[in-house]
Structure 1
Amino acid sequence: MTTLILHHYPSSPFSEKIRAVLGYKQLAWKSVVIPAIMPKPDVIALTGGYRKTPFMQVGADIYCDSALICDMLEHVRAEPTLYPPHLKGVSRIFAQWADTTLFWAAMAYNLQPKGAAQVFAKAPPEAAKAFAEDRKAMTGGMTRLRPADATSAYRSYLRRIAHMVEEHDFLFGAEPCIADFAAYHSLWYTRVQTPVMADILAATPAVSEWMDRMAAIGHGAMEKFSAADAITIAHGAEPMPAGQNLLIDSAFQDDHGIALGSEVTVAAETFGPEATQGTLMAATRTHFTLRREDPRAGLVHVHFPRVGYVMRKVEAAA
């Protein structure tokens, strides 16, 4: 049985997405709680630079980004499926919208002063400032919605989701799919992490009922685990051969003119632009795999999705 180690923290919305997927597939997993902001030395030892939350570890293989983690978990346990054959295209497109457009509108709404005050109510005053500075560094040149515009957009999106779940128990039918998990986590943050902002949900009771059904899925069988033990596991393991890891596709797809074996960097297009550098071991239609070595974690393979990430060749010094 594959040992799944999720590196996350409780209030992370994208972590809630993966925790819910683990519950849907009734998988056992080990929980490593990581810091919400930098510095993250244990994270960087495994990822080489990627610092977004969550990421999944299987031995010496590190899977970055919640979209890629979902693909990997589908391969670990195919049923119940996240990608029903008749919804394979539309559910992925909806999920990508939910993980980006819906997420940013929801978070701009949630973290208005009243919501932010609730999030940091039990933390020292400097914690809110440190969090704001950390996220500012991650967003770089991104254009963020102003609170009033975010509120308008979020209300509209909630009405549209309501229209879908008034007809079915879940967004596209009687069972949840990837679209449900991608849409749920932003709304979960509103209801669970910033309940002072949750009155926006009152106008769409069908959405709240759908959220109750999603919450009832649970999180699977979780066991607490330490970052030190996770790094020890990585150091003692061998990465799975490129093309034989827990991602389904393996054929080389050369869209960059960069040969396998080249030294490259991979980084997110927008949010969390910190790059990971390594040797390109795979570039398939869905993902990149980099081979890198760390003094603590040893030899690891770090996997990224193609969509939402950019790869660049590292030019040799003159």
Structure 2
Amino acid sequence: MDPVIFLIQSLNAIQYGLLLFLLASGLTLIFGIMGIINLAHGSFYMIGAYMAFALQPFAEQYLGGSFVLSILSCVLLAALLGYFMEWFFFSYLYTRDHLQQVLMTYGLILVFEELRSLAVGNDVHGVSIPAWLSGSVQLGDVMTYPTYRLFISAVCILVALGMYWVLTRTRLGMQIRAGASNREMISALGINITQLYRIVFACGVALAALAGAIAAPVSSVYPGMGQNILIISFVVVVIGGIGSIKGAFIAAMLIGFVDTFGQIFFPKGAGVFIYVLMAIILLLKPNGLFRQG
């Protein structure tokens, strides 16, 4: 393979893996700390993408066309939605068994899809890339790489570093890590577990929405986009270990490279390689790479 093409595909793999990490990190926190199998997590990715589409005219009129402010608005609105959803709906699922959680969160998928259809219809929509990110970087004599894809990777890396700092250097992070290991113990120590759950869920929804919002200009906005990425996100969580942010990061990067280069060398069987990777890792480490607790 030509070195420039290899570099481009490696950048694609990194960008895809980092985007998966954004989505899966929120899912693994919710699953690891709250013990809820949230099938509706992919819907929050879809909501983020549709909010980026819906807020684009607002940003052009009232925010000076600022793409960054538009994305930040999506994240803030998603966090508020997540906080409300935990209080209104998910707080009633903690004592239910996993089958009921699966059925009830699947019902949420149907509700969100119907609301989306009523609000914006079933057409495919595009989100324009801002002018300052619409260029490309020269790689070699002929090949170029889109600046916006580098922007996606940079945002994901900054968020990952921010999450690392919060989880390892702050009191909230200590409580989150303790909650992932032993929920009953931190409750007995006087930690407000209800408030912690709402913060974690709001952060998980915000991360999923951020992933959808920054991916929208690349992948477009279309019905069912949340379900398409949900399964891969669960694979990331299973490979990395439930509740482990570090595991989610490593698993997402592995899947990014396996999927990207699998489609190049074995396009007909590329979709199988991700699940083969999962099967191999689970045979060697049944609890995932870095399961918490």
TM-score, normalised via structure 2 length: 0.26
- Structure with higher strand content: 1
Higher relative contact order (Cα pairs below 8 Å, separated by 6+ residues): 2
